[in-house]
Chain A
Amino acid sequence: MSLKGKAYIAGAFEHPTRKAPDKSVAQLHAECAAGALADAGLTKDDVDGYFCAGDAPGMGPLSMVDYMNLKVRHVDATDVGGSSYLMLVSHAAEAIAAGRCNVALITLAGRPRSEGQATGTAARAGNPAQPDMMFEYPYSPTVVNMYAMCAQRHMYEFGTTSEQLAWIKVAASTHAQYNPHAMLRDVVTVEDVVNSPMVSTPLHRLDCCVISDGGGALLVVKPEIAKALKRPLVKVIGNGESPKGQMGGMVDLTYSGARYSGKMAFDEAGVKPTDMKYASIYDSFTITVLMQLEDLGFAEKGQGGKFVQDGNLISGVGKLPFNTDGGGLCNNHPANRGGITKVIEAVRQLRGEAHPKVQVPNCNLALAHGTGGSLGTRHGSATLIMERE
């Protein structure tokens, strides 16, 4: 069954906070939920499906449904890291198409900044029962050194340069200057990026995303409900998801699961990359963006560096305006999971509600893509294509 047009995104809310030492994680989730409901013109009592991922405290949907006192008939807690919230939009569309719910609420929130997490630079000790743990933890894998190995291999195979990667940050910072909530609003240059301190070769500090508190929420609803509301209509027309791992030791760091999830989403939507007026591309690191652009088909494999340079991702300048909120690189990466903000900015663009300085004229087709987990080991990929009706 195709999910094309089976669900609409009727509400989207990004919490304005970037540092929330005085709030609980559950409280942030609920504030995001309230924000999305107000945005859509719906109430808490309209929600009959609840969707969350690993950032939800306690026992995921059980704890959060109880905290918010929701009366729902469908829950889903698929956790694939930062890509979860794009996948949850698709799962909400599936549930709506199957008649399991009509108004699906998705929330994300976290406080890694207030809690002082060394998000990218400390090895995370997981459950010893995780089958890869003994074979990886002794080597001190961190988020940044895993993505850095992807960048190193990309440079080796395709001649990609640090300057090309830097253009991704330059584009994000050019957009972030117009976002009053963005953590980093200073426009940076290629030189600023390549001269910033090296974290893990070849990735510099400015190749890495911010660490922020905050969250976001989305409301995915059935078509009849979307059409009865007063908001512009944002229809979900393409969905794709794919996990990718080490393939039994046949490790290949040159591509991501976006190769599969992107194709699924484009095939379902019946459109192609060049049709996209805007793209939200997961930007945990600059290399994440470059690989996804290739795997989604915006650039040929190995040509991502040439594609992103000279401002090609800057709204009003280049061919593919991306992350016009400033993205994870400059604006927000709440709970270390940037998937929901990718969808939210795409919704703003499709509604014509992005900042006027970065709004894409007549933005009627947009893509949002997420990569969650670790690009260098195991990651989830999720692609959404949305259309303004």
Chain B
Amino acid sequence: MAEQRKISFIGAPDTNPEVKPYWDACNESRLTLRKCGGCGKVHYYPRGICPFCFSTDGNWINASGKGKIYSFSVMERASPPFTMAYVTLEEGVTMMTNIIDTDFSKIKIGQDVKVVFLDSDTGQKVPMFTPV
């Protein structure tokens, strides 16, 4: 297990209605995604307008919180080291994240992971992933 680095958050979800529901759900330890009512596709990061069809008829859905590692890099130069990753969720979208609470030398592409929520410096919880 590696030491967890401090997480810095930028931005103010409270004054950004487009994404406030996403960050509020994170604070309740729920990962949500945006699903389009026009084309039916899920996208990431969440937008008020669908990046596939430009429909504004979107809905928030609960994600399963499960996914697989699409790619990763252990930032050994950092102190403490951490693992940057893209995780492909069961819902089909790929999100940037960190892999935590594991032996970084054993991380593999394709590995099953699940979401966990960590506190950032502003108190906003941030979704990260850990091996199942």
The answer, yes or no, to whether B116 is at the interface (CB within 8 Å) is no
CB under 8 Å from chain A, chain B span 36-70: 41-45, 47, 51-52, 70
Q: A123: nearest residue on chain B (CB-CB)?
A: B8
Q: Count contacts on A: residues with CB < 8 A to the other chain.
A: 43
Q: How many residues of B contact A (CB 8 A)?
A: 45
Q: Does B94 contact A (CB under 8 A)?
A: yes
A125 to B8, CA, bound (A): 10
B93 near A138: Cβ-Cβ < 8 Å: no
B126: interface (CB < 8 Å)? yes
Q: How far, in angstroms, from A123 to B85 measured CA to CA in the complex?
A: 14
A201 and B71 within 8 A (CB): no
- Residue A250 interfacial (CB < 8 Å): yes
> Which of the 9-residue segments A82-90, A102-110, A129-137, A210-218 touches chain B?
A129-137
Residues of A within 8 A of B97 (CB): 139
Which of B10, B43, B72 contacts A133 (CB under 8 A)? B10
Instruction: Name the B residues within 8 Å of A150 (CB-CB).
Output: 71
Q: 8 Å CB contacts to B: which residues of A250-271? A: 250-251, 253
Whether B95 lies near A135 (C-beta < 8 A) is yes
Collect the chain A residues with CB atoms within 8 Å of residue B43's CB. Answer: 248-249
Scan residues 208-243 of chain A and give those whose CB is less than 8 A from a CB of chain B: none
Contact in complex: A140, B74 (CB < 8 Å): no
* A138: B residues at CB distance < 8 A: 7-10, 120, 126
Lowest 10 CB-CB distances: which A-B pairs, in order?
A249-B93, A249-B44, A148-B73, A248-B51, A251-B94, A135-B45, A128-B11, A153-B71, A134-B11, A248-B43
| Distance between B122 CB and nearest chain A CB, rounded to angstroms | 10
19 interchain pairs (CB within 8 A)?
A: A121-B75, A128-B12, A134-B10, A137-B11, A138-B9, A140-B5, A142-B84, A145-B84, A149-B71, A153-B109, A198-B76, A199-B75, A200-B84, A201-B74, A248-B43, A248-B44, A248-B51, A249-B92, A251-B88
Contact assessment for B76 and A149 in the assembled complex, using a CB-CB cutoff below 8 Å:
no
Interchain CB contact (< 8 A) of B10 among A137, A200, A248: A137
- Contacts from A to B (Cβ < 8 Å): 121, 123, 125-126, 128, 131-142, 144-146, 148-153, 156, 197-203, 246-251, 253, 376-377
Residue in B9, B41, B110, B128 whose CB lies within 8 Å of A134: B9
CB-based contact B94/A250 at 8 Å: yes
Alpha-carbon separation in the docked complex, A221 to B40 (Å)? 50
Residues of A within 8 A of B110 (CB): 156
List chain B residues, Cβ under 8 A from A247: 51
Please report the C-alpha to C-alpha distance between residue A138 and residue B126 in the assembled complex, in whole angstroms: 7
CA distance A246 to B43 in the complex (A): 10
Closest to A125 in B: B10
8 Å CB contact of A149 from B45, B47, B84, B120? B84
